[in-house]
Amino acid sequence: METDRIKELIESGTPICQLDKEGAKRLLKYQATNAFIKVGVHRSMTPDAFQQEVEFCAEMLYNDIVDDPRYKNIRDKEFPYLFSEGVKGRLGADKDIVLTYKSIIRWIEGYVTSQIRKDAVVMYMAEKEARTPKLAAHEITDEELKVKVLDAWTAYQQYRCSKRLNDLSDDSPRTVGEAIGMPIECLDYGRIRADYLVRIGYARPDEKLVDVFGRAYDNGGKFVKV
């Protein structure tokens, strides 16, 4: 996979959770159909059975993607690239088994948790922050900052909960890059949210936003002044 290519797809695409449900399912159905045909799944199934398999796969993929904070921010334009890499055997270790819904979920897990995509997200966020006017942080009201912090906190809690459930599950997908990526909402480039928490007393100057969230999560969800 290529970091620059993925960064371009992230920048030009729309998070799948922001698409209407039917549009998102059409995208997933199209990609699943192509993948199944490329690996020959259709050869061992009747047309009706193949169609049912594709429909089932698209429905389940949509539900799992939008419900999982690790996946819901994948851009629509990333999916053709993701599926292409999966078919080529570059995501996970299941290169020669019959392709199934479980295989595709493992591709998605391997893609999202790969260091290459993580680097692409970091590059995208850094460039986005660099394009933001420097005075923007001073123009944001405390109420707006509070909303931004709460949105990031919600994403962080979902991330920690999903990570805990994933670690406890014996049959959870295990692919390359098993460490689960932090949600984009928690990447506080420019320290706008972290500095707000410092100012109101809930963070130290040397702490990152995720450090504060980690302490609060381990404290039963309660933020304590430092």
Predicted confidence at residue 171, as pLDDT, reads: 43
- Three-state SS at 75: strand
The answer to the question of residue 128 being in a domain is no
- The answer to whether the beta carbons of residues 18 and 80 sit under 8 Å apart is no
Residues 77 and 151 in one domain: no
Residues 6 or more apart whose CB falls under 8 angstroms from that of 109 comprise 70, 92, 173, 175
pLDDT digits (tens, 9 = 90+) for 126-154: 887 777 655 454 567 888 888 889 888 98
Q: For the ranges 6-10, 11-15, 146-150, 176-180, which has the lowest average pLDDT? A: 176-180
Cα 215 vs. chain centroid, distance in angstroms? Answer: 23
Predicted confidence at residue 14, as pLDDT, reads: 93
Residues 166 and 89 in one domain: no
Predicted confidence at residue 183, as pLDDT, reads: 76
pLDDT digits (tens, 9 = 90+) for 19-60: 999 999 999 999 999 999 998 888 888 889 999 999 999 999
- The answer to whether the beta carbons of residues 77 and 24 sit under 8 Å apart is no
pLDDT digits (tens, 9 = 90+) for 155-170: 888 888 876 655 544 4
Neighbours of 161 (CB within 10 A): 12
Give me the domain span that covers residue 107.
3-115
Q: For the ranges 10-19, 96-105, 121-130, 173-182, which has the lowest average pLDDT? A: 173-182
Confidence category of residue 7, pLDDT binned at 50, 70, 90:
very high
Domain count, the chain: 2
| Domain end (from 64, 82, 115) | 115
Q: Write out the two tokens for 51.
A: 């169609």
Residues 96 and 149 in one domain: no
Neighbours of 120 (CB within 10 A): 23
Predicted confidence at residue 169, as pLDDT, reads: 46
Is residue 179 pLDDT above 60, yes or no?
no
Residues 139 and 167 in one domain: yes
Predicted confidence at residue 9, as pLDDT, reads: 95
The answer to the question of residue 120 being in a domain is no
Predicted confidence at residue 178, as pLDDT, reads: 32
Task: Give this prediction's pTM.
Answer: 0.64
pLDDT digits (tens, 9 = 90+) for 63-115: 999 888 888 889 999 999 999 999 988 886 655 567 888 889 999 999 998 98
Residues 66 and 109 in one domain: yes
